[in-house]
Structures are given as structure tokens and as C-alpha cells.
Amino acid sequence: MALLFSLILAICTGPGILGSLSRVRLVGGDHRCEGRVEVQQDDEWVTVCDDYWNMDSVAVLCRELGCGPARKTMSGTVYGPVTPKDQKVFIHLFRCNGIEESLSQCEKEDAIGCSHVEDAGAVCELPESVRLADGPGRCQGRVEVKFQGEWSSVCQAGWSFAAAKVVCRQLECGRATLTRRGCNKETQGQGAIWQRKASCSGQEVNLQDCLSEVWEHNCTHDEDMWVECEDPFGLKLVGGRSHCEGRLEVLHKGEWGSVCDDGWGQEADRVVCRQLGCGQPLSPPVKIRRRFGPGVGRIWLDDVNCSGKEPSLEQCPHRSWGYHNCNHREDVAVVCEEQQSGLLDA
């Protein structure tokens, strides 16, 4: 078996930052295009100080890694595992204008007095490799994968509901609700049919992470796979002094609603803080949490049980949407550390 599509390395080689061959990578994120920034210096990986680190710097990094467009800057401290105390910080700061092909082409200054609390992070989009075509929205449609530069439909015999769950997650939609064989004539594919069979557990972040094997088939477009996902999941903290504190609300079927605190714990706080791009959860006493007030309207979630490792709150086990035995006096509130001020989007 081989990794789905061709193996894409998370570490790209480019002109040396110090005049010799060097490399750059993102560590600890949900995929290869997100994480704490590290560069190779004298055969060891070192972090990068966030002084002057901005969206121009992230744009260059995303380009160098072969990722999609830059999405935002982040504090490198939000990505695990925790940086070892003996790991060094890169001796230079980067001052990029955003058009360079690699960080090595950016202007540099000596880094003085930087510590790991100032580690830089970055989020880039993943290059498009899967899509749902000809549906009513981007989260419903015929499954197509991009292989060797060509979009191909997927045959029923090489597909599973576990693979559908991965596709919905990769496309940042909600949970998979349907996968079925057969599209009508208007939504059938016209081109190639994918020559691989995917083997997914359903827990993978991207379809590229699933194992696959080449297989011979006699499929026709009558067997094209159709997948439907729930609408994209959203969350926010309201009533606080910033987006990093407040009463938790989640978006489902176009309507915002609160979350009941039955089963809620620090692990769930951690997932929320990470998803919002904030720092670590502070876990204040109940009195502080109650100052954000009760919600009104829908209570969408109850009995949420996170491990703390989930990339999205939606992936934590919970009761079905809208089922609960709570009132708004039990609404969840979360307080996270603020994002480093030097890492705000430019």
C-alpha cells in the first residue's frame, strides 16, 4: 500500500538561510500547512522569533512549503508538543515583503533576547486535492479527487462512509450525513474515474492520510459516489472583552445556540481555545464564567466529552444536535489566554 496520491513532504528544501542548503517546516498543527515555524540551522531544528513576523512572512512560508494561500499568523506556543527548553531560537529575524519565493530571500536582522514564548506560528490553506462537485453547495456533491493534475470521480467499489467523514472534515464542512452510489445524469462525472481504492479509518484529517492501493475496475459514471456533509460548523465566545473569552455559542443549520455544561471539562476548553486561535485555557472559577450571562434561544449541544486533541469541537462526542436536559443557567463559558499581540494578522 502507498499513501493516497503521491507522498507530499511537510519539509521543503530551498536555498540556505545561512548561505548553505536549509529547510523549513511547520510543527504541531492539524496538517502539514499549519503549526509552529522551524528552520534547520547547523543540522538541528530551531524555532523562529515572532518579531516582524506578519502576514507577508506567512505568505512567503506558505509559498515555500507548496501550501495554499496564507490564512493567519499564530503564536507558536499553541502547538504541541511543548518546545524543549534546550531547543534554540533562530539567530535571525525575517523581514519579508510577501513576494519572495522562500524565507531565505527575505531581509534578516539579528534576533536579540528572543525566547520560546515568542515562537512564531502560521496557518496556510491546504492545496485543493478533493472536492464535492455539482451539488447545491460546496458541502454536497459528487466526490472528485485531484491526482496527477487531473480531477477524477470516485467509484462506489473503492469508497466507504469512513472516507466520506474524512472528506467532510478536510473541506471544513460539518459531519458526513450521507454517501451513496449513483448520481443523476445531470450530476454524473464526464472525465476520468480514479484508479485507487481508499482505506480510511474515518479519523484522518485529510484524504491524503488514508492508505490506498491501485486497483483495476470496470466502473462507469453510473457508479459515481455522492457525499453530503452538514453545513460548516462555527463557534464563538460572546459577552467577553475579546474573542478569547465569553459564553460559548455554536452554529448549526444557520442558527447560533449555546452549549450545556453537563460533562464539560478542561479538555473541551482546550479544543475551543485552539480552534479560535487563542492561547491556553485559563479555567477561571464559576463566578467569573457567570459574568458572561445566560444565552437565549437554542441549546444545541449537551454531554460534550472531549479528549483535548480534537481539531474541532464538533468532533467531540456529544448528544445529537438539539437534544439536552438543560436550561440557559447551565450555558458553557470559556476563558482563554490572549493571542500574542505581536502575532496579530497584518
Residue 193: name the closest of 155, 159, 163 by CA.
155
Domain limits for position 241: 234-337
What pLDDT was estimated at residue 165? Answer: 94
Q: Which of 181, 205, 229 is the last residue of a domain?
A: 229
Q: Which three cell numbers stand for residue 64?
A: 515555500
Note whether 114 and 143 are same-domain residues.
no
Whether residue 6 lies inside any domain: the answer is: no
- The residue out of 201, 229, 257 marking a domain boundary is 229
In a domain, 15, yes or no: no
Predicted local distance difference test score (pLDDT) of residue 288: 81
Number of C-beta neighbours around residue 218 at 10 A: 8
Instruction: Supply the pLDDT for residue 150.
Output: 83
Q: Which three cell numbers stand for residue 35?
A: 503549526
Q: Which residue has the cell 492561547?
A: 279
The reply to whether 35 falls in a domain is yes
Report the predicted TM-score, pTM, of the whole model to 2 decimal places. 0.53
Tell me how far apart the alpha carbons of residues 150 and 300 are, in angstroms, rounded to a whole number.
40
* Cell of residue 176, nine digits: 458526513
State how many domains the chain has. 3
As a whole number of angstroms, the distance between CA 106 and CA 125 comes to: 22
Residue reference for cell 457567570: 290
Q: Are residues 107 and 156 in the same domain?
A: no
DSSP state of 345: -
CATH value at residue 102: 3.10.250.10
For residue 12, being part of any structural domain is answered with: no
The confidence score (pLDDT) of residue 7 equals 31
Q: Are 118 and 136 members of one domain?
A: no
Instruction: Report the pLDDT value the prediction gives residue 11, as an integer from 0 to 100.
Output: 35
> Does 11 map to a domain?
no
Exposed / middle / buried, residue 18 (Cβ in 10 Å: 0-12, 13-18, 19+): middle
Q: Is residue 195 a part of any domain in this protein?
A: yes
Rounded to the nearest 5°, which phi and psi values hold at 143?
Answer: -70, 130
Q: Provide the H-helix boundaries in 5-108.
A: 55-65
| Alpha-helical runs (H) found in 222-308 | 266-275, 286-289
In this structure, the answer to whether residues 157 and 195 fall within a common structural domain is yes
Contact 172, 94 (CB under 8 A): no
57 is a domain residue: yes
Amino acid symbol at 8: I
H/E element, 161: helix 161-170
Helix (H, G, I), strand (E, B) or coil at 123: strand
Helix, coil or strand: residue 231: coil
Domain final residue, candidates 207, 229, 251: 229
Mean pLDDT in order along the chain per 10 residues (346 residues): 35 32 79 90 90 94 87 89 83 91 91 91 86 91 84 88 93 88 78 84 84 77 91 89 93 89 93 91 83 92 92 86 91 86 38
Whether residue 1 lies inside any domain: the answer is no
104/165 same-domain check: no
Beta strands in 76-216 (DSSP E): 92-95, 107-110, 120-124, 130-137, 140-147, 150-153, 176-181, 196-199, 211-214
Query: What does the alpha-carbon distance between residue 167 and residue 180 come to, in Å, rounded to a whole number?
Result: 14
Give the pLDDT of residue 183: 66
